[in-house]
Amino acid sequence: MSNDQIDEYEQGERVRKWLRDNGGAVFGGIALGLAAIAGFQFYQSHLANQRVEASRQFDRFVDAQEAGEAEKAGGLAASLATNFADTPYPALAALRRASVLVAEGKAEEALNALDAAIPGTRDVALAQLMQLRAARAEVLLGRHDAALARLGRVDLQSYRAMREELRGDVLAAQGQRDEARRAYQDALAATDVASPTRVLLELKLADVGGSAQTSEA
């Protein structure tokens, strides 16, 4: 046997010995790795299926609302909150339900629907939008201090204009013209110059003794 053959034989023996000593751990690790990959894929598939089913149920909720089937819509909204809390659909259902209830003159029920959904909403933008809607319901119920407290929980820049306009409405209703004027000016500063909402804001600002020119200065 040549030296090269001896070297190959020895190397082979070393490999076989290492596998005997460590093979269980190696193959166990491979098995665990494969199981982890399979588990992750199953989880991702489960999430995708959850989103699809939540979307379908939300569509049924919308259909029931539009058909005037309030009891059915309420049941579907409750099911979304219970079974699909990790999706945005419970929050979207609460927003739609609150809008319908306010239009029907049921501001208190709208407020209850929003308050039930807010704690479980992980999306910050959706949660703060619900706080804005809840603040509007508080205003309709004449609870101005409660409305201002809710507005204090809204700090996203994208909601600045809506927040400050509503703050101005509340302060104006309380007779605090100077504070209302500052709020409307802030709302105007956060509103695009091409936005159609500027006209109404400018009218509100004028009602409390302000002007658009002053707010832009």
> pLDDT tens digit string along 12-26?
556 556 556 655 555
Q: How far apart are CA 65 and CA 57, in angstroms?
A: 12
The 10s digit of each residue's pLDDT in 27-39 is: 555 545 555 555 5
- Rounded Cα distance between 20 and 158, Å, is 63
**Maximum alpha-carbon separation in the chain:** 107
pLDDT at residue 73, rounded to an integer: 87
Phi, psi of 105, rounded to the nearest 5 degrees = 80, 20
CB contact at 8 A, 88 and 100:
no
Rounded CA-CA distance 127/3 in Å is 76
Most confident of 21-30, 41-50, 79-88, 115-124: 115-124
Spans of all domains in the chain:
51-155, 157-217
> Distance between CA 10 and CA 1 in Å, rounded?
12
* CB atoms inside a 10 Å sphere around CB 31: 10
Which is more confidently placed, 23 or 147? 147
Q: At the topology level of CATH, where does 51-155 sit? A: 1.25.40
Coil, helix or strand for 175? coil
